[in-house]
Amino acid sequence: MTSTPRGTRIRKAPAERRAEILDTAARLALEHGLERVTMQQVAGELGVRPGLISHYFPAVDGLLCEAFARAVSRERAALLPDAERELPPLRRLARFLDRIGDDGFANLGRLWLNARHLARYRPTLRAVVAEQEAEMRGVLTALIEDGVRTGDFVTEDPLAACVVILVTIDGLDSYANADEAAPHPVLDTLVPRIAERELGLAYGSLRDER
């Protein structure tokens, strides 16, 4: 009688396993909300025991915060990809605004809405949300400053223009969980119109550059 050898479980390197856990948690946060980022849920997605997750993240709060940061950072990189750095600032901004209004990034708006709500009760998450907001302001302000240098944009305060644009985007995100369409078609072009006004652009400039 011969015995069939058992399959050998491959032990992943700690850094690889930790990254795998974070990737899974970030996906859950983006697709289903931060409430789904639990030890049990992440373990179930990976087919491992919850104890393995807690080995890398002893507190679920730490896992939730890092998952949020990873999800938002990746989405930000997709909205303003490094590969487009050589494009004129006007075109880069137009593409950013086009993407942010696309259904493919709808979950990002939901995640920000979700995180800001939960941050009211979770000081650690509140700090991470603030860090990610600062990162987004920095990236978009730098883009606007580039446009001022090239003559694409006209503004005396790039940071102020950036804040107005982002607050407008955040305002529209408040409708992210609505079952019906936004209350008026004017909202479809609200963000580019506000950006055009803030940056001294002619009406329709950002939409023409898409």
Q: What would the pLDDT profile of 31-90 be if each residue is shown by its tens digit?
A: 999 999 999 999 999 999 999 999 999 999 999 999 999 999 999 999 999 999 999 999
178-196 per-position pLDDT tens digit = 666 666 678 788 999 999 9
Single-letter code of the amino acid located at 124: T
Which CATH code for domain 12-79?
A: 1.10.10
C-alpha–C-alpha distance, residues 57 and 21, integer Å = 9
For 174-187, b/e burial (b = at least 16 CB within 10 A) is eeeeeeeeeeeeee
Q: What is the pLDDT of residue 175?
A: 77
Q: What is the pLDDT of residue 140?
A: 98
Average pLDDT, the chain: 91
Q: What is the pLDDT of residue 90?
A: 97
C-alpha–C-alpha distance, residues 44 and 29, integer Å = 15
| Fold equal for 12-79 and 81-210 | no
Given a cut of 50, whether residue 6 has pLDDT beyond it is no
* Confidence category of residue 101, pLDDT binned at 50, 70, 90: confident
Which of 103-107, 114-118, 146-150 is predicted with the least confidence, judged by mean pLDDT? 103-107
Q: Identify the sign of the CA torsion 49, 53, 56, 57.
A: negative
160-177 per-position pLDDT tens digit = 999 999 999 999 888 777
Task: Please compute the mean of the pLDDT values over residues 123-137 and round it to a whole number.
Answer: 97
C-alpha–C-alpha distance, residues 160 and 167, integer Å = 11
Residue ranges per structural domain of the chain = 12-79, 81-210
Q: What is the pLDDT of residue 1?
A: 45
User: What fold characterizes domain 81-210?
Assistant: Tetracycline Repressor; domain 2 (1.10.357)
Containing 25, the helix (H) or strand (E) segment is helix 14-32
Q: What percent of the chain has pLDDT over 90?
A: 80
